[in-house]
Amino acid sequence: MLLNGEKPGWSANTDIASSDGTASTADEKLQKRETWGRKFDFLLACIGFSVGLGNVWRFPFLCYKNGGGAFLIPYFIAVICGGIPVFFLEVSIGQFMSEGGIGPWKLCPMFQGIGYASAIIVFLLNIDYNIILAWAFYYLFQSFQAVLPWSTCDNDWNTDNCRIFNESSAFNGSVLYQTMTHNLSLNQNTSGQVIDSVTEFWERKVLQLSSGVGSPGNIKWDLALCLLLAWIVVYFCIWKGIKSSGKVMYFTATSPYILMLVLLIRGVTLDGASEGIKYYLLPDWSKLAEPQVWVDAGTQIFFSYSISLGTLTALGSYNKFHHNCYRDTVMFAAVNSGTSFLAGFVTFSVLGFMAKQQNVSISEVAESGPGLAFIAYPEAVAQMPFAPLWSVLFFVMVILLGLDSQFVGVEGFVTAVVDLKPQIFRVGKRREFLILGICILSFFIGLSMVTEGGMYVFQLFDYYSASRIVLVVAFFECIVVAYIYGIDRFYDNLQMMFGFRPGPFMKIAWTFITPVFTFSIFVLGAISYSELTYKRKLITYSYPTWAIAVGWCLALASVVFIPIVVIFKILKSKGSLKERIVDLLKPRLQRHQLRDNEDMSKVQLIDDVYQTNSANDDAIDSIEKLPMTNEFETEGI
């Protein structure tokens, strides 16, 4: 006999317990984890994420600063010793474990703090990186004018000391402007000193720069709206998951190369371009004896390859289990380093033109970081025919270079959160709401960087939140895989995935070369550490002690999770101290991740939450297909 149409012994709203003990109803099925739609999507995502603004404005500056062509020697040594091994390690761990962020470090649960540290680093970087996109959007909108607003001195934000430095006004004052000291204290009166129209536009119009980090001033609502636009674009790039964002990257990751080629052709045809390129490449071999050159090469590789941010692990986790990410690693390294080298020609051809126009040396017009994108290059395009066109092309390139880096970085953080609690966030539209919440939170934190004192806050985030901390994270990654999980075991895992065993170089790198390299660069960087200053055109601003303390809190906020998680897991475990440590050093693996003849005493077998959910769904479906019998027939009466 049926009651209310229900099958005997079964409730229509039967709950199935998920792997973490929470209930998941049949109406709220756990969504299957996505994989890349095409094999090429993964490589394109890695290129889009890692090839960004640092390749355009940081590498060329470091190259000329550290000996020109001679800098390529420590740079490529850093690629081989640090960049390629750690990149391959991170993407292959993500692919093997099919999780991003914290999950992959089930390889050694005691050190899952590596995943937490990486997630916090990328979260902080996402906040300050989108500020650059906001500035780029602002400049792009300002470029749609017949006369670029930073090319004249008759605007309401200009001072009486404003001058236009171009071919038609190369007066003696330009020499005064270029040779003035950069070591004035903030309290000195800078009135009467000549300053160019581009810098006044940047500092007085765009930033409305206050006197220091302790004077935040008002929110600049024009920049705030640009920041809001940037976060809206990021949200809609990733809200539907990696299959849709992968399609977006076919445009955002490839278009900058077309624009870069156009700007390169324009740059090399400018008067003075050859001198700029010569300055970029001419080697100064004596620089190789300076430790700072090697520190710059090492940190540039980790910055450019986006290592230790957890995002590469997340991107690898969306690969199919047998995808050949070993091949992708080599291709990625060639494209990334090649882009940096190409960007140097784009940058220094224009700087050579500027130097000749102003009749000064190239070192006096060269800028790094935001100064290149928002002062040096706008100044150059203002002196070109059809200036608004070249300005639009340049800032579109900056936006596209930064956009895929930004939304893939956010995707990496989202993946870390979702994979930590899939039973919560892979149900219904919760993942979309999570992304929305992260974007809103990041936007409100970012508002502190679009105030009148926002540039000082931006510099704090940029200098301390990642910087050399990523070297520490990479060091622990290599040590955990090589000496705790076991380098031979991991090589067996690679063979399971690829169908072949990679050559011995990676084994040597992970066990010896890369840990020594990362540790050495970190130590050299610590020895040469100097407190943050903000170098403006006429003033070098020194941060107060309390602001430096905030910076160190940003730096330690991530890496401190490595020891914290170790202590927390030991305290939470049961048994004697030795038993707890031994248990926490055992990898947690699923059945398909086990080797043939695996010693199960050294592994803990865990369920795949997605397969478990699928099996539960199949069980419900099979129950619903049972013959419609009454309870008496079932009991055989």
> What residue ranges do the domains of the chain occupy?
29-153+204-214+222-577
**Coil vs helix vs strand at 324:** coil
pLDDT band at 37 (very low <50, low <70, confident <90, very high): confident
Q: What is the C-alpha separation between 198 and 365, in angstroms, rounded? A: 12
CATH class of 29-153+204-214+222-577: mainly alpha
Rounded alpha-carbon distances, angstroms, from residue 28 to 193, 321, 415: 67, 27, 20
Q: What is the mean pLDDT of the chain?
A: 83
pLDDT band at 454 (very low <50, low <70, confident <90, very high): very high
Please check if 401 is assigned to a binding site: yes
Please check if 404 is assigned to a binding site: yes
Q: What is the C-alpha separation between 71 and 287, in angstroms, rounded? A: 8
Alpha carbon 223 to its chain's center: 22
Q: Containing H/E element for 457?
A: helix 454-464
Please check if 481 is assigned to a binding site: no
Q: What does the pLDDT average to over 602-606?
A: 89
pLDDT band at 428 (very low <50, low <70, confident <90, very high): confident
Contact 369, 300 (CB under 8 A): no
Q: What does the pLDDT average to over 103-131?
A: 93
Please check if 405 is assigned to a binding site: yes
Q: What is the C-alpha separation between 573 and 567, in angstroms, rounded? A: 10
Give helix then strand counts, H and E, for the chain: 30, 8
Per-residue pLDDT tens over the stretch 233-243: 999 988 887 77
pLDDT band at 632 (very low <50, low <70, confident <90, very high): very low
Lowest mean pLDDT among 254-258, 444-448, 468-472, 606-610: 606-610
Q: What is the C-alpha separation between 551 and 555, in angstroms, rounded? A: 6
Q: What does the pLDDT average to over 621-631?
A: 42
**Whether pLDDT at 530 is above 50:** yes
Contact 126, 409 (CB under 8 A): yes
Q: What is the C-alpha separation between 473 and 562, in angstroms, rounded? A: 9
Phi, psi of 626 (to 5 degrees): -65, 150
> What's the pLDDT score for residue 375?
82
Q: Containing H/E element for 369?
A: none
DSSP-assigned letter for residue 429 = T
CA angle 87/333/60 to nearest 5° reads 110
Please check if 241 is assigned to a binding site: no
Q: What is the C-alpha separation between 211 and 216, in angstroms, rounded? A: 9
**Whether pLDDT at 628 is above 70:** no
> What's the pLDDT score for residue 610?
62
End-to-end CA distance of the chain: 13
Please check if 613 is assigned to a binding site: no
Q: What is the C-alpha separation between 257 and 270, in angstroms, rounded? A: 20
Per-residue pLDDT tens over the stretch 139-195: 999 999 989 999 888 889 988 888 886 544 443 333 333 333 333 333 334 445 778
> What's the pLDDT score for residue 609?
66
**Whether pLDDT at 619 is above 80:** no
Lowest mean pLDDT among 327-331, 438-442, 630-634: 630-634
pTM of the predicted model as reported, rounded to 2 decimal places: 0.85
> What's the pLDDT score for residue 436?
95
> What's the pLDDT score for residue 488?
93
**Whether pLDDT at 1 is above 70:** no
Lowest mean pLDDT among 13-27, 101-115, 433-447: 13-27
DSSP-assigned letter for residue 250 = H
**Coil vs helix vs strand at 352:** helix
CA angle 129/133/139 to nearest 5° reads 145
Per-residue pLDDT tens over the stretch 56-70: 878 888 887 888 888
Position with higher pLDDT, 227 vs 610: 227
Give the helix ranges, DSSP H, for 253-286.
255-268, 273-281
Position with higher pLDDT, 372 vs 191: 372
pLDDT band at 138 (very low <50, low <70, confident <90, very high): very high
